[in-house]
Every structure is written in C-alpha cells, then in structure tokens.
Amino acid sequence: MLQVVLIVAIGGAAVGVAQVLRRRGSDAPEQGASWTVPAQLDRTDFAGSEVPWLVAVFSSSTCLACGDTWEKAKHLDSAEVVVQELDAVEDKAVHQRYGIDAVPLVLVADAEGVVRRSFVGPPTATDLWAALAELREPGTVPPGCTEP
C-alpha cells in the first residue's frame, strides 16, 4: 500500500513539474528572429540613381559592426557602382520608409531598384565583393565560392 501511495505522489509531482515547464516555455521569446529586407527600392531615394548598381549600407553610429561593414563596402564604389551609407539617425526617414529594423544591412540593387542581394549582419569582404561581381557579370565567380 505504501508503494502505491509513493508511486501516485511521484507521478503527481512529475505532472506538476511538466506543466510548470510547459508554461515557462510558452513565454520564451521566439528563436530565429527575422528582419525586414526590402525587395524593391526607389533609386531616387539614394545617391547616384543614374548609376547601374547601388550598394546601400544601412547602419547606425552606435553599431560597431556597422563601421566594419562600411569599410568593406565603400571600396566597391566605381563608375558603375554607387555605395551609400545610411545612418539610422541622419537618414531616419529612409530607414522608416523601407522598414529597416536591423543594422548593418547591405542591399545590392540594380538600375531599376530591384534588390538582387542582401546581407543582414556584417558580411565578409569576400562574400560582398563576390556577390557584386557575380551580379554584374554572371559566371565570374566559380560555383561554391559565395553563400547562396
């Protein structure tokens, strides 16, 4: 009889603990947050709207990774590519218009403003430069040398 009482008590305690853990789990924040990445830009919102390619670097002066991202991206500037940094405070209206909610965010857009490649978070220089090279001249970068 004592064994039955012990088994019932242990089973009841296990059910109680499971319910508490289940409730705590439902209050936990979702994993794998997603960020807004625009698919289309109005090129007149950016410098060099007459240039075929735009590399827009959305950043913030309080973000350490943003400075590093800008240092990598600014070297892409050329006659065919305009590179522009857009600070969250100084260019707040542009951040709001495109729903930018995470920085650094790098967008590579074509002449029509179609975002052809994006990087949420700091890209490597290799990935950023290779992505632009492949967009400008398909087949330039060997398969497997860049992230999808």
- Which is more confident, 33 or 126? 126
Q: What is the pLDDT of residues 58-102, one digit of tens each?
A: 999 999 999 999 999 999 999 999 999 999 999 999 999 999 999
Q: Tokens 């995470």 correspond to what residue?
A: 102
Please name each of the domains of the chain with its CATH number.
Answer: 43-136 (3.40.30.10)
Q: Tokens 């240092």 correspond to what residue?
A: 71
Instruction: Name which of 28-32, 90-94, 119-123 the model is least confident about.
Output: 28-32
- The length of the chain in residues reads 148
Percent of residues, the chain, with pLDDT higher than 70 = 72
Q: Are 84 and 47 in contact (CB under 8 A)?
A: yes
Q: CA-CA distance, 48 to 80, in Å (whole number)?
A: 10
pTM reported for the whole predicted model: 0.74
Mean pLDDT, the chain, rounded, equals: 84
Q: Are 66 and 95 in contact (CB under 8 A)?
A: no
Q: CA-CA distance, 111 to 54, in Å (whole number)?
A: 8
pLDDT band at 35 (very low <50, low <70, confident <90, very high): confident
Mean pLDDT value across residues 31-48: 86
12 token code pair: 């009841």
For 105, phi then psi, to 5°, come to -135, 125
Q: Is the pLDDT of residue 146 over 60?
A: no
